[in-house]
């Protein structure tokens, strides 16, 4: 009897190739298109593509409206994060609560054991590993996924290079018109700039004061929500000759603090919202403090629901709200939110 798998489908190349590969592996594939936000034209076009693919492959596909839990767990988290002066990572939260939370629950309702996506990840059924293609690896974004769901996950593209996926896709007749389509953005509900989202909910264009490290007023800025840690443009610093960077946001007073690049250097920081795939309280590992940063050797110490990370060398632009993600070589150990 064929093993059943629920596959998240978007109408794009990666999820469609995943469906073909899963069928080749002997799985009985059921597709699900997840509506996560309110761009109706976007969903209509993508679900049309999903249905074309589903008909070609002879699989059943569901349209699953998850806009309410997405709004609560991801969208509002994003908006409230910037309002509070942190730099949130909505993709990490979406993978925990929606793609490997609500989607797993939907699989349960259909009596389907396995759940698959087109993520570039590998798994052995116990742990998650970085993808073969380092340029597409998405392991950073699943550091908060619950450990108990890992045995149920399947990632057909984990051993593939993106260029080979595109070649494979170009030989699937129904996909030939999709194979050159634009890659989706990292944050699905942000079309151009994150401030466009924030402007829908609050006044972000309130001029404020720029402070130096000693608290002196040295310039003006457009409104604190326009800035993230490490940004070096869009504000004035009176009499400055060297570049200045945002080092701190003060949402309660609509102020930003700036300094030289050296003042962005951090080697130790606290974390919370800790999620580990095996129990350990004091360990050495590789640490990534943002998705596209280089992993650095560090030591992690956990006490209760909080932890402390000490890196072997400094990083620049460490931002509250982003996630520190831990690795043992290419094996994902988990992560925690930088506070």
d(CA 21, CA 33): 18
Please state which of the four CATH numbers 3.40.190.10, 2.60.40.10, 2.40.50.140, 2.30.30.280 is assigned to the domain occupying 203-259. 2.30.30.280
Contact 263, 247 (CB under 8 A): yes
SS3 assignment, position 316? strand
Q: Which CATH class is domain 4-175?
A: alpha beta
What are the residue numbers of the active site? 94, 188
The per-residue pLDDT string of the chain (339 residues; one tens digit each, 9 = 90 and over) reads 789 999 999 988 999 999 999 999 999 999 999 999 888 888 999 999 999 999 999 999 999 999 999 999 999 999 999 999 999 999 999 999 999 999 999 999 999 999 999 999 999 999 999 999 999 999 999 999 999 999 999 999 999 999 999 999 989 888 776 544 555 556 788 878 899 999 999 999 999 999 999 999 999 999 999 999 999 999 999 988 889 999 999 999 999 999 999 999 999 999 999 999 999 999 999 999 999 899 999 999 999 999 999 999 999 989 999 999 999 999 999 999 999
113: its two tokens: 């054991």
β-sheet with 217-221: strand ranges across: 217-221, 208-211, 255-259, 245-250
Report CA-CA distances (Å) from 21 to 17, 57, 159: 6, 11, 12
Secondary structure of 154-207 as H, E, C letters: ECCCCCCCHHHHHHHHHCCHHHCCCCCCCCCCCCCCCCCCHHHHHCCCCCCCCC
What are the extents of the domains in the chain?
A: 4-175, 203-259, 264-338
CATH ID of 264-338, from 2.40.30.10, 2.102.10.10, 3.30.365.10, 1.10.287.990: 2.40.30.10
For the CA atoms of 195, 98, 20, 187, what is the dihedral angle to 10 degrees? 10
pTM (predicted TM-score): 0.92
For residue 314, give the nearest of 248, 264, 250, 244 by alpha carbon.
264
Q: Give the ranges where the chain is alpha helix by DSSP (H).
A: 13-24, 40-57, 67-70, 76-83, 90-94, 103-110, 162-170, 194-198
**Quick check: 320 and 228 in contact, CB under 8 A?**
no
Measured in residues, the chain has a length of: 339
């Amino acid at each position: 009897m064929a093993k059943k798998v629920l596959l998240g489908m978007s109408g794009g190349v990666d999820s469609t190739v995943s469906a073909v590969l899963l069928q080749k592996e002997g799985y009985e594939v059921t597709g699900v298109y997840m509506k996560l936000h309110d761009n109706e034209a976007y969903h209509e076009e993508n679900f049309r593509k999903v249905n074309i693919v589903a008909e070609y492959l002879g699989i059943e596909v569901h349209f699953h409206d998850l806009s309410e839990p997405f709004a609560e767990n991801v969208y509002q988290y994003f908006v409230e994060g910037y309002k509070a002066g942190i730099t949130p990572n909505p993709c990490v939260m979406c993978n925990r609560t929606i793609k490997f939370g609500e989607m797993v629950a939907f699989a349960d309702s259909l009596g389907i054991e396995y759940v698959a996506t087109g993520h570039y990840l590998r798994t052995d059924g116990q742990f998650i590993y970085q993808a073969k293609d380092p340029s597409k690896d998405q392991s950073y974004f699943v550091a908060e996924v619950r450990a108990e769901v890992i045995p149920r996950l399947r990632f057909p593209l984990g051993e593939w290079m993106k260029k080979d996926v595109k070649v494979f896709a170009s030989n699937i007749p129904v996909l030939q018109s999709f194979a050159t389509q634009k890659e989706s953005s990292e944050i699905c509900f942000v079309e151009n700039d994150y401030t466009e989202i924030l402007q829908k909910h609050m006044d972000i264009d309130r001029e404020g004061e720029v402070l130096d490290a000693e608290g002196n007023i040295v310039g003006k800025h457009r409104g604190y929500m326009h800035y993230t840690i490490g940004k070096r443009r869009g504000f004035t610093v009176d009499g400055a000759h060297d570049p200045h960077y945002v080092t701190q946001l003060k949402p309660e007073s609509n102020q930003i603090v700036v300094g030289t690049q050296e003042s962005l250097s951090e080697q130790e920081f606290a974390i919370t919202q800790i999620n580990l795939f095996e129990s350990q309280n004091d360990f050495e590992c590789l640490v990534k403090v943002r998705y596209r940063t280089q992993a650095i050797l560090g030591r992690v110490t956990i006490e209760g629901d909080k932890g402390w990370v000490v890196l072997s060398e400094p990083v620049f632009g460490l931002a509250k709200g982003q996630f520190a993600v831990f690795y043992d070589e290419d094996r994902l150990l988990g992560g925690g939110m930088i506070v």
